[in-house]
Amino acid sequence: MSTETVSDVVVVGAGIVGCAIARTLAGTDLSVTLIDARNDVGDGTSKANTALLHTGFDATPGTLESRLVARGYQLLGEYAEQTGIPVEHTGAMLVAWTQEEVDALPKLLAKAEANGYRHCGIVDSDEVYRRVPNLGPGALAGLTVPGESIICTWTTNLALATDAVARGAVLLRGAKVTQVSADADGTTLHTTAGDVRGRWIINAAGLGADHVDALFGHRRFTVIPRRGELFVFDKLTRPMVPLIVLAVPSSRGKGVLVSPTIYGNVMVGPTSENLEDRSATGTSEDGFEFLLSKGRALMPSLFDEEITASYAGLRASTEHDDYLIDLDREQRYVLVGGIRSTGLTSGMAIAEHVAGLLAEAGVDVAERDDLPPPPRMPNIGEAGLRPFEDAALIDADPEYGRIVCFCERVTAGEIRDAFDSPIPPADLDGLRRRTRAMNGRCQGFYCGAQTRALLQAGAPS
């Protein structure tokens, strides 16, 4: 991007939070540029999490996080209906295995009510096993959270980015910020893709947010990469887990969960391991042992079934207990840091909050009247109608009946559509997030070569 072009706002980071902010501000008369260090949107923290649409029942009351998660739950739920983001309202159960955990349930119920969520209930062990018959022995009681849901984090990120671009935002990928310089007319971000200038800079860089913050002269927090490893079980196990099974939270996080996924699998995890390496997304032997021991205690029969995949993601934890969202009028700079895993749910509310801060600083953030409709995203969720099942769609275009990935039933038509979309994939991982190709039990063993050839050709043959 030429240094002669000055955007009103430059958003650094194209994860869920950054894309939500760019979408909101691109809906005004402001010019917006969205940049990311990686070659695709949602290729950092946002791509690998537990994918829960979270009520915020167990957030710390009175925090900014609790308020924005509750608001984001409403906003994202409505947006998912508009755009076709896959969501399943499964509900959740916190299971108490010890008397200490049983004693904690009334406090969690009170916390939920303090957060404005008044639909939880304490149930006895008989009810726990009625709802989740395959749990291991020894559950004493439970706390129901009927509003907890599973969602497709990949489609959420892509929908927000696509909407931002449709509203006029400029997306620049592969642009890692290396240096910052400011003058009276704005700030220049020196990136690996060239210089990008903006009158306002919004730092939503996730794992790199503290590094960008330091380029603006601040030393107010440190990102502590927290690795979470997970197991994914074969789709045949899905009936064993009808809802999200949660542990009673501790100071280290929300513990190991057993959850259905939007793609028809079952997931167990995550671990919680603080690291120094911000690129350490590989799995580990210790992580496997931890998940095996904890998972078998929760649901032994599940671990008699096939584990088809494992993966790890990094959460951008900090030494602070709340979100760090701050506007500096003099620098015309907004920090959006320390968002952690709840950013999936709260992202749209964070965007609304940032717009409010800009309005208080004198920026006109009134929504335009000529906004395009929200994008309608391809369905990659198992509960909805997939293209390979849609006879009318296949009659109209046989490419939707030509299977490329047999594990996940991904068709040539879907892959073609991904390449033809406003934000096409840059690599195989990006194609996987858009279509589920290579996401099944063979992990690309059968379809990988053909899928790679399609990527290199830019369209299916």
What would the pLDDT profile of 408-440 be if each residue is shown by its tens digit?
Answer: 999 999 999 999 999 999 999 999 999 999 888
Q: Helix (H, G, I), strand (E, B), or coil: what is residue 208?
A: helix
Q: In which residue are the tokens 């018959």 written? A: 133
> What angle do helix axes 153-166 and 343-360 make, rounded to 10 degrees?
30
In tens, the pLDDT along 128-166 reads: 999 999 999 999 999 999 999 999 999 999 999 999 999
Among 181, 174, 206, CA closest to 35: 174
Token representation of residue 248: 């009673």
Domains of the chain, residue spans: 1-88+150-222+319-380, 89-149+224-317, 387-458
Cα-Cα-Cα-Cα dihedral of 390, 396, 402, 408, to 10°?
-30
> How many CB atoms lie under 10 A from the CB of residue 403?
15
The one-letter amino acid at 101: E
Helix or strand or coil: residue 427? coil
Residue positions counted in the chain: 461
CATH of 1-88+150-222+319-380, one of 2.60.40.10, 3.40.50.1980, 3.40.50.2000, 3.50.50.60: 3.50.50.60
Q: What confidence tens digit (pLDDT) does each residue in 284-335 have?
A: 888 889 999 888 888 999 999 999 988 888 888 888 889 999 999 999 999 9
Q: Which residues pair with 411 in a beta bridge?
A: 403
Cis upstream peptide for 133 (omega within 30°): no
Report the distance separating Cα 9 and Cα 73, nearest Å. Answer: 26
Dihedral pair phi/psi, residue 456, rounded to 5°: -65, -35
| Residues of the chain with confidence (pLDDT) below 50 | 1-3, 252, 460-461
What is the C-alpha separation between 10 and 174, in angstroms, rounded?
Answer: 15
Distances (CA, A) of 289 to 237, 270, 292, 296: 21, 12, 5, 11
Contact yes or no for 253/101 (Cβ under 8 A): no
Q: Which CATH architecture has domain 89-149+224-317?
A: 2-Layer Sandwich (3.30)
> Pick from 145, 166, 147, 163: which is nearest to 155 by CA?
163
DSSP at 321:
S
Is residue 234 within 8 Å of residue 305, measured between CB atoms?
A: yes
In this prediction the pTM is 0.94
Q: Three-class SS of residue 149? A: strand
